[in-house]
Amino acid sequence: MSQIAALHSFRPTVSPSSLHVRSSRHSVRIRSQSASASSSSSTCSRDGDRWSLHGKTALVTGGTRGIGRAIVEELAGFGARVHTCSRSDTELNRCLREWGSEGLAVTGSICDASVRDERLELIETVSSFFGGKLNILINNVGTNIRKPTVEVSHEEFSRLMSTNFESIFHLCQLAHPLLKASGMGSIVFTSSVSGFVSLKSMAVQGATKGAINQFTRSLACEWAKDNIRSNAVAPWYIKTSMVEQVLSNEEYLEEVYSRTPLQRLGDPRDVSSLVAFLCLPASSYITGQIICVDGGMSVNGFDPRHDIPRS
């Protein structure tokens, strides 16, 4: 589509003649706008295309439980072909059987995402399954070690860094050619509210999530030229196996509710619906954003339980 025709379909009120009087600097900006208008008008011409992942391919790390599992099911439900991984073959095989019986197009690999060689193998598998093209990369694997900072050992520090940050950095590097080849890539990171606010005994884990947040923004700018978007979701407490133990303490749970304006825990599907939206063509102008899924926890200021009597 020519520059003028593309702009015309994008903003019909602009007359073609008005384009000729713009400076050359401005016309460069128009050209790039036309490119996106042209691609959006060809790929999203009907509402169904904007809200569908049919024909798209996705890799979700850590997809057998919790948030990752909900993401696998949400993306497959929107029509994507999904590949996932976990460290337990028993659990992965059980999930694959269940997804198969539900008619969801999901495949899987055993992979410890914190191990470099296993990441290399995972991306090789994904590349051969999906013909060298990947539309969606969900960097979901993460871990937590709750300890006061002075008690964190060197080994624990390394485990947090390698699982939560080095692994996602390397997977992005490895997946870049596949995402670029797809022509329309989307990366979503599972961050945490701990990347924004202080949570007790989680200074190092919070630092890894803060690193993810800045990496999200930097990749959004660096890889925009390859039509790869980069966003993150930042949950507060979501009912999963990771936090089962800490939330089994009733007093602790009460404190969680008191800090959460919506007064409840999140469900994995509260996160997966946002992740799916960030992968859909409908969100194709959103990049570099970190969105909290937290019942309002991160914006909660001072809300005393006791009202001061009015005079």
Q: How many helices (H) and strands (E) does the chain have?
A: 13, 7
- Is the CB of 223 or the CB of 237 nearer to ligand NAP? 237
Residue 187: CB minimum distance to ligand NAP, A: 14
> CB of 5: closest distance to ligand NAP in angstroms?
45
Spell out a b/e string for 9-24, using b for 16 or more CB atoms within 10 Å of the CB, else e.
ebeeeeeeeeeeeeee
Residue number, 50 or 259, with CB nearest to ligand NAP:
259
Which residue number, 62 or 295, has a Cβ lying nearer to ligand NAP? 62
Residue type, 74: E
Q: Are 270 and 240 in contact (CB under 8 A)?
A: no
- By C-alpha distance, which of 143, 259, 153 is closest to 198? 259
Residues at the site binding ligand NAP, with contacts judged by CB under 6 A? 61-68, 85-88, 91, 111-114, 140-142, 163, 190, 192, 235, 237-238, 240-243
Q: Quote the least distance from Cβ 199 to ligand NAP, whole Å.
A: 9
- State the Cα–Cα distance between residues 9 and 29, nearest whole angstrom: 16
Pick the closer one to ligand NAP by CB: 141 or 228: 141
Q: Is the Cβ of residue 30 or residue 293 nearer to ligand NAP in the bound state?
A: 293
Supply the minimum distance, in Å, between the C-beta of residue 135 and ligand NAP. 21
DSSP string, 182-212: HSSEEEEEE--GGGTS--TT-HHHHHHHHHH
Amino acid at 288: G
> Whole-number minimum distance, CB 308 to ligand NAP, in Å?
34
Bridge partner list, 266: 238
CB-CB contact of 19 with 7 (8 Å):
yes
Neighbour-count burial for 35-63, b at 16+ CB within 10 Å, e otherwise: eebbbbeeebeeeebeebbeebbbbbbbb
Nearest to 242 by CA among 118, 139, 146, 108: 146
Nearer to ligand NAP, 50 or 65 (CB): 65
Q: Who's near 76: CB < 8 A, 6+ residues apart?
A: 82, 99, 104, 105, 106
CB nearer ligand NAP, residue 130 or residue 237: 237
Whole-number minimum distance, CB 196 to ligand NAP, in Å? 11
Q: How far is the CB of 238 from ligand NAP (least distance, A)?
A: 4
